[in-house]
Amino acid sequence: MTAQPNESQPGRPGRALPDTQRGMRRRNLSRVLHAVGAEGPLSRAGVASRIGLTRAAVSTLVDELIRSGLLEELGPERPSRVGRPGWALALSTHGPAGIGAEVGVDHLAVCAVDLRGTVRSRAVRYGSNRGRSPESVIERLTGLVRRVVAEAEAEGLWPAGLAVAVPGLVARDARTVVRAPNLDWHDTDLAALFPSDVPLTVDNEANFGALAELWLGDGTPSDFLHVSAEIGIGGAVVVDGRLLRGTRGFAGELGHVPVWPDGPECPCGGHGCLEQYAGEKAVLRAAGLEPGEDRVGVLAGRAAEGDENVRRALREAGTALGIALTGAVNLLDPEAVVVGGALAAVAPWLLPSLREELSRRTAGPACPVSASELGPQGPLLGAAHSVIRGVLDDPATVAERA
Amino acid sequence: MTAQPNESQPGRPGRALPDTQRGMRRRNLSRVLHAVGAEGPLSRAGVASRIGLTRAAVSTLVDELIRSGLLEELGPERPSRVGRPGWALALSTHGPAGIGAEVGVDHLAVCAVDLRGTVRSRAVRYGSNRGRSPESVIERLTGLVRRVVAEAEAEGLWPAGLAVAVPGLVARDARTVVRAPNLDWHDTDLAALFPSDVPLTVDNEANFGALAELWLGDGTPSDFLHVSAEIGIGGAVVVDGRLLRGTRGFAGELGHVPVWPDGPECPCGGHGCLEQYAGEKAVLRAAGLEPGEDRVGVLAGRAAEGDENVRRALREAGTALGIALTGAVNLLDPEAVVVGGALAAVAPWLLPSLREELSRRTAGPACPVSASELGPQGPLLGAAHSVIRGVLDDPATVAERA
C-alpha cells in the first residue's frame, strides 16, 4: 500500500509532458531515491551505474530531487575511491516526514519518521478511548499530531502525509472505520473529522503492524501471516510482499475465527471465537487478574516471576491461537507466522503451546512462528513508514507539492 | 496459471528479433486471439478497431495465426454490413486442443477441449485407485489420454498440452504430488511417469475446479473461495482473478481446518478436522450408509426422497462447513463462496445449514454461498481449459511448435 494515491494528481502546471514520458520521469525519480536509500551515500556516478541510466540523465533527476528537498549532498566522497571524487548523495533528513498516528483502546500515539526511517519526534497520551465519541478522540489525536508536526518542522522537516492505525475494520476507501468494537465506533469517516491539510490514510492496526514487519523486520519473508493484539486480536496476510485486503478491506480478521464452536458467546454474534480465549480480557480473567492499566506489562511481569496462574492462562491462550492458526496456515500456506503487538511481550509463555498445537495439527514440517521484535510499536511505525514508502515510490507528487 | 511456462522457449530459428519487439509481437498475437475469442467472428478490420492496431499490422498477425492453425476464415461476412465485406475470422476448431485429465479416488477421466472451449472428446474409466501404485494408475490414465488424443486428432486437432488434476497437494514445480492421502501417494513425480511428449502440468483438483469456476462459471466474481469435494474436501482461493498458491503450493487446504478441536482423530494427525464431519466417509457413516459406488448419487437420491437420516447427515455436514468457512471468510474476505465438486450435487440439503451457520457467526452481511453449476466436471474442465488459456495468452509458443 502507499499512503497517497498519486495517479489523480495533476502534473506540474506548464509542464505538459506526454503521459509515457512523464510516467518514465516519475519512475526514474523513484529509482534514484530507492538506490540512494538502499545503498547510499552514493555519488551521481554511483547512482547511474546502479540504475543503468547515463550520468547526465541521473544528474537532471538528482538536481530535481535536491531542489524538492528529497536528497541532500553530504560533501566529496572519500578520496580513496577510484576516479574523480563525486559529491555523496543521501536521503534528506530535512525533507518530507511521514506522520504515523495510532488510536489504541487505551492510548493515542503519534510519531514523525524522516526519509531515512529515523523517528524524529514522538508523543503518547494514555487514557481510555473506549466509548468516547470519534470527534473527541480525533480532537485529542489532532493535538498530538500538531505537537509532533511542530517538533518535526522545527528540525526542518515537513509532513508529507498522515497515516492513522485503528483497532477495527477499515473500508477500502482508506478513511472509513466500519467497525471498531472495542471503541464502539461504527461507520466513522475519519477523514471528515481531521482538520489535516496533508493526505490522510486510515488502516487497521494489524495491517500497519504487518507492513512494519515486512519493511523493518529482520529477515521477514514476503509471505507471512501477522497476528497482532491490543485488546482484541487482529491479523494481516502478506502475499508476495503485498497486503491481502479482501473484497471489503476486511481480510486478516483472526479474532473471530471459531476455536471451540460451542464456547462462550462473543459480541460479534458468534460463539467460541479466538478472542474469547486469547483476547486480553479473556487472558486476564483466566489469570485471575483485574483489568487495569498496562495489563500486558503486568501479565509479562507475573509470568516472569513464575506466577503459575498467569503462565497457565498464557499457555491456554497459546493453544487457542494454535488452533485458529492451524486453519489459517492450511488456507494460506504462508512462509512464517509473526506474532506482534502486545502479544509479543508475552511471547515466551505464549509461543511454546502455540507452536505445539500448530505442529501437532498440521501434517509435514510446521510453519515457523516467531515474535515480532517491533512489538507494540509495529502499527505506529508501519503507519509512519507507509507515508515514507509512498514518497520513495512516487517522489514526483511531493516534489510537485514542495 | 498457464499450462505451459513459455518464457524459456527459444524463438523461431533464424528469426532474431530483439527481445522487446518479439515480446510485443507475442502480446499482439495474443490480443488478436482474445479479441476473436471474446467477440468473434470478426473481420480483420473488426479486430483492428477493437485492439487499436492498423489493419496492415493485424493482417500480418492474422496470417501468422491462420498458418499456425489457431484462427480460421469462415467466409465473407454478411453483406448487410457497411463497407466492403471482410472474411470473418474465428478461433480454429481444427487447431490446438487442451487435454485435461483427472485422477479421482474412484475414477479416471480425460477430455479434449478446442480453442473455442468445446469439449471434443471425453473418456472415463471407473474403478478404485486407492492404494494402487502411481505407475499403474498413470499407465491406465495414459491409455485414456491416447484414446482421447486419437479421437481429437481424427477431427484435425493436435494436443497443445496435458494438465492433470489430482486429489492431493502438488508442489510449486507443477509436477510433484507431495501428498494425496486418499490415494496413499507421497512425493510422486508424475512428469517422470508420463510418456507424454506434450507439456505437462499437474495441479490440485480444487485449484483446477476453481479456475473452471472463474473461467466458465456464470457471474463468478474474481475474488472467491472455492470448496470442492470428492472423497476428501479441498479448497482453493482466488484473489483478483488469480489462484493464491502459498509458499509451497499448498494454499486452500480446507479439509483439515479444525472444526471441533477435541473431535475424532484425523489421519492428518489433527483432531476434529472438517473432513471428519463433512468428508464423504463421515457423511455416509452419519447417514447410516455403506461405502460403495456413486455414493454421492445415492446420497442425493435418498435426500430427494426425503430420507431423514440422510438429510440430517447433510445438515450436520453443512454446519461443520459453515464453521470452517467462518474462519476462512474472516481471513480472506472473499466476494463469494462457491461449493463445487461432488458437494454441488447435494447442495440443496447442505447449503441451508451452511449459510445459517456462516451468517450467525459473521458480523455484517454474510458472504454469499452458491453451488457450482459445473459440479463434478469442474476440475477436469479447468485442467483442459488451463491449456487453452495458455495458448490464448501466448500463441507464439504453439505457433512455433505447430
Q: Which of B247, B326, B364 sits opposite A270 (nearest CB)?
A: B326
* Residues in chain A, pLDDT under 50: 1-17
Q: Do A271 and B326 touch (CB under 8 A)?
A: no
DSSP helix, strand, coil percent of chain A (3-state; round to 5): 45, 20, 35
Q: HSE, CB side, 13 Å, CA atoms: give it for residue B22.
A: 14
Q: Do A326 and B256 touch (CB under 8 A)?
A: yes
State how far the Cα of B262 lies from the Cα of B217, in Å rounded to an integer: 38
Q: What mean pLDDT value characterizes chain B?
A: 89
Most A-contacting residue of B316, B331, B367 (CB-CB within 10 A), to test interface? B331
Residue A2: name the closest of A386, A289, A331 by CA. A386
Cell of A182: 472495542
Q: Which of B246, B257, B330 sits opposite A253 (nearest CB)?
A: B330
What would the pLDDT profile of B32-42 be if each residue is shown by its tens digit? 999 999 987 89
Contacts of A269 in chain B (CB under 8 A): 360-363
DSSP state of A54: -
Q: Are strands A336-339 and A242-243 parallel, antiparallel or unpaired?
A: unpaired
Q: Are strands B233-239 and B169-170 parallel, antiparallel or unpaired?
A: unpaired
* pLDDT above 90 for B20: no
* A-B C-beta contacts closer than 8 Å: 137
Most B-contacting residue of A238, A274, A332 (CB-CB within 10 A), to test interface? A332
What's residue B80's pLDDT? 52
Contacts of A96 (CB under 8 A, 6+ apart): A69, A70, A114, A115, A157, A158, A159, A160, A387, A388, A391, A398, A402
Most A-contacting residue of B169, B276, B332, B356 (CB-CB within 10 A), to test interface? B332
State how far the Cα of A101 lies from the Cα of A113, in Å rounded to an integer: 11
Complex confidence, ipTM: 0.87
Q: Do B259 and A256 touch (CB under 8 A)?
A: no
Count of H-run helices and E-run strands, chain A: 13, 15
What's residue B14's pLDDT? 37
What would the pLDDT profile of B228-253 be if each residue is shown by its tens digit? 887 789 999 999 999 999 999 999 99
Low-confidence winner among A123-127, B51-55, B84-88 (lowest mean pLDDT): B84-88
SS3 label, residue A336: strand
* Closest chain A residue by Cα to residue B236: A331
Q: Give chain A's end-to-end CA distance (angstroms, integer).
A: 22
Q: Do B326 and A246 touch (CB under 8 A)?
A: no
What would the pLDDT profile of A22-81 be if each residue is shown by its tens digit? 788 899 999 999 999 998 789 999 999 999 999 999 999 999 999 999 999 987 665 555
Cell of B279: 468428508
Q: Which of B179, B323, B330 sits opposite A363 (nearest CB)?
A: B179
* pLDDT above 50 for B95: yes
Write b or e for each residue in A62-94: b if 16 or more Cβ atoms lie within 10 A of its Cβ, otherwise e. Answer: bebbeebbbbbbeeebeeeeeeeebebbbbbee
The Cα of A335 is separated from the nearest Cα of chain B by a number of Å equal to: 6
Q: Catalogue all structural domains in chain A, each as residue range(s) with its CATH number.
A: 19-94 (1.10.10.10), 96-209+379-391 (3.30.420.40), 218-373 (3.30.420.40)
- The residues facing A71 across adjacent strands are A91
DSSP string, A210-231: HHHHHHHSSS--SSEEEEEESS
Residue A333: name the closest of B224, B261, B189, B254 by CA. B254
Q: Do A223 and B247 touch (CB under 8 A)?
A: yes
DSSP string, A123-136: EEEES--TT--HHH
Interface of B with A (CB under 8 A): 178-179, 221, 223, 235, 237, 239, 244-254, 256-262, 268-271, 323-324, 326-328, 330-335, 360-364
Contacts of A44 (CB under 8 A, 6+ apart): A55, A58, A59, A62, A86, A87, A89
What would the pLDDT profile of B142-179 be if each residue is shown by its tens digit? 999 999 999 999 999 999 999 999 999 999 999 999 99
Contacts of B223 in chain A (CB under 8 A): 246-247
Asked whether B51 and B32 are in contact (CB, 8 A), the reply is yes
What's residue A327's pLDDT? 95
Q: Which of B179, B237, B248 sits opposite A331 (nearest CB)?
A: B237
- Measured between alpha carbons, how far is residue A271 from residues A286, B316, B357, B358 in Å? 18, 17, 11, 12
Contacts of A335 in chain B (CB under 8 A): 247
What's residue A195's pLDDT? 77
Q: Do A260 and B259 touch (CB under 8 A)?
A: no
Encoded amino acid at B97, one letter: A
The Cα of B331 is separated from the nearest Cα of chain A by a number of Å equal to: 4
Q: Which of A248, A262, A361 sits opposite B333 (nearest CB)?
A: A248
What's residue B396's pLDDT? 85
Q: HSE, CB side, 13 Å, CA atoms: give it for residue A64.
A: 20
Higher pLDDT, residue A284 or B84: A284
Q: How many CB atoms sit inside 10 A of residue B368's CB?
A: 14
Q: Do B251 and A324 touch (CB under 8 A)?
A: no
* pLDDT above 80 for B291: no
* Closest chain B residue by Cα to residue A248: B333
* pLDDT above 80 for B19: no
What's residue A75's pLDDT? 74
Q: Do A330 and B256 touch (CB under 8 A)?
A: yes
State how far the Cα of A341 lies from the Cα of A318, in Å rounded to an integer: 15
Asked whether B161 and B4 are in contact (CB, 8 A), the reply is yes
Helix axes B55-67, B19-39, angle to 10 degrees: 80
Strand ranges inside A291-398, DSSP E: 336-339, 369-371
DSSP state of A271: B
Encoded amino acid at A363, one letter: A
Most B-contacting residue of A333, A353, A362 (CB-CB within 10 A), to test interface? A333
SS3 label, residue B198: coil
The Cα of A342 is separated from the nearest Cα of chain B by a number of Å equal to: 20
Residue B243, judged by CB atoms within 10 A of its CB (0-12, 13-18, 19+), counts as buried
Q: Do A249 and B333 touch (CB under 8 A)?
A: yes
The Cα of B296 is separated from the nearest Cα of chain A by a number of Å equal to: 25
* Closest chain A residue by Cα to residue B226: A331
State how far the Cα of B238 lies from the Cα of B199, in Å rounded to an integer: 24
Asked whether B176 and B187 are in contact (CB, 8 A), the reply is yes
Strand ranges inside A314-399, DSSP E: 336-339, 369-371
Q: Do A239 and B237 touch (CB under 8 A)?
A: no
